[in-house]
Chain A
Amino acid sequence: MNRKLTELQDEELIKEFQDHNTIAAYEILVKRYKDPLMNFTYRFLGDKDACTDIVQETMIKFYLNKDSYKSFAKFSTWIYTIAGNLAKNELKRRKRRSILSLFNDDDEKSLQIEDKNIISPERSADGEIKNKMIQDALLKVKPVYREVVILRDIQGLSYEEIAEITELSIGTVKSRINRGRTQLQKMLKGIYKE
């Protein structure tokens, strides 16, 4: 039975879960999407613990509101929408917290990746540091642009899927991706042009 389920498409699995409350189908979907969602939320928020919680919450929401999924939509876009909304809520919560907090210990602002004097070219050649710098640059991009850039360039989703997830027109998605990339390009000039 399980082998058969693993061969099913996402939409078929959720149908199975909706109709027969098959936990195995739910578990397969969780297995399929936990890592992509983790990657997406991590690139969006830059905090692993928060991302784990968000993905867990996404899966819980999926479990509790399975009937709100309509078969005409793609399962991947539906689950990405849930995760994206939770990630955006977390971002808002953080902003509120940083306003209320007397001591703003936001790492994003303290690291100046554009300043080449701080990080030498030798160090920037190191892969881990490079990745860290790219991640930090990504976190500096406006959230509306960041989301679409991540979905497109990191998650590899199509423009149509991104438009469905973000509830935007394809044109808007394209322009936002373009703007996001331009912002990133300005910040990462010294890194990838070697």
Chain B
Amino acid sequence: MEAKNPEPKNAHEEISRVLSGLPKINAPENFEFNLMTRIQNGAYENARWKVKNPLFTPWRLVPAAAGLAAIVLMFLIFPDQDTTENLLMTDPPARAAAVNASPDTMHLRISSKAGNKSDQTLAGNKKATENKDKAAPAEETFRVVVNPNDAVTKEKLPFEFNDSRSVDLDSYLGGHKSPAAKGGRGVLVSSGNSMSADEFDGFIMSGEMEKLPELKARMDSIMLEYSKQKEKRQKAAENKEEKRLK
């Protein structure tokens, strides 16, 4: 131990001697008087011990207050000048018009393009791919409005629906699958034109078909667990009732 510590033992003694030789500091002469005065006056709280947190001194709050005032003034002087609409919060114009239309108006969609519309709707993968690759010609969509005075007017809809990408949901669910659906492609009505056919395949994303058995098994196990728990709860309720009756 001594060998590990190179310091001689008396080195600490020297330090002790030096420290003990320091002059003694005495309390000020009026210490007792001040103390007893404080006690007699009940002034137990020393000014030093009062919270002196510099964060909360008034002069330190001035810049923060000024900043806050400036922000408030900015809002008052320059009210909301942001004219850009939130596209997610507004309806597309065509739909908004359709929703707002009077009940006695009839909506039809007529494609100005030559050719059978149903053919377009039921187009297969090939055609869809072609459409995707080529720059598709502008498809104009119109709305025929039958006015109360039996006058028929045709309005051009700014929003273009792509029928080739649509499928009738009712008939799809009813089992009457369209040729397009048979071909493994199909999208919901008005689900948008921008969506690629490869991205969405009916209700199941492509590539998830393989997961179906696994998902089904998981679903079954959840259902089984649920029914077990339900039975347990029923039994517990019955037991409670029996106890209460007893």
Chain A residues at the B interface, C-beta cutoff of 8 Å: 27, 30-31, 34-35, 37-39, 42-43, 48, 50-53, 55-57, 59-60, 63-64, 97, 100-101, 131, 134-135, 138, 149-150, 152-154, 156, 178, 181-182, 184-185, 188, 191-193
Contact = CB atoms under 8 A, between A and B. Distances in A.
A27 B22 contact: no
Contacts of B12: 178, 181-182, 185
Given A34-B27, A64-B44, A153-B16, A100 B55 contact: yes
B86 interface: no
Interface stretch (B30-38, B163-171, B183-191, B224-232): B30-38
Contacts of A135: 22
Interface stretch (B46-54, B65-73, B91-99, B145-153): B46-54
A159 B23 CA distance: 22
Interface string B7-51: 100011011101110111111100110111011000010101100
Contacts of A57: 46, 48-49
Interface of B: 7, 11-12, 14-16, 18-20, 22-28, 31-32, 34-36, 38-39, 44, 46, 48-49, 52, 54-55
A154 B20 contact: yes
B54 A154 contact: no
Contacts of B44: 60, 64
A149 B49 CA distance: 27
Given A150-B19, A184-B15, 4 more contacts: A43-B22, A43-B25, A97-B52, A100-B54
Task: Name the 7 nearest CB pairs between A and B, nearest first.
Answer: A153-B19, A34-B27, A42-B25, A38-B27, A53-B48, A181-B12, A153-B16
Nearest to A64: B44
Contact of B36 (A27, A43, A154, A191): A27
Contacts of A150: 19
B200 to A, nearest CB: 58
B15 A185 contact: yes
Nearest to A34: B27
Given A30-B32, A57-B49, A60-B38, A181 B16 contact: yes
B24 A35 contact: yes
Contacts of A31: 32
Contacts of A34: 26-27, 31-32
A134 B18 CA distance: 8
A188 B15 contact: yes
Given A30-B32, A57-B46, A60-B39, A192 B25 contact: no
A152 B15 CA distance: 12
A42 B23 CA distance: 11
Contacts of A154: 19-20, 22
A190 B203 CA distance: 86
A34 B16 CA distance: 23
B31 to A, nearest CB: 6
Contacts of A188: 15, 18
B76 to A, nearest CB: 33
Contact of A192 (B14, B20, B24, B32): B14
B55 A48 contact: no
Contacts of B49: 53, 57
B46 A56 contact: yes
Contacts of B46: 53, 56-57, 60
Contacts of A131: 22-23
Nearest to A138: B19
A181 B15 contact: yes
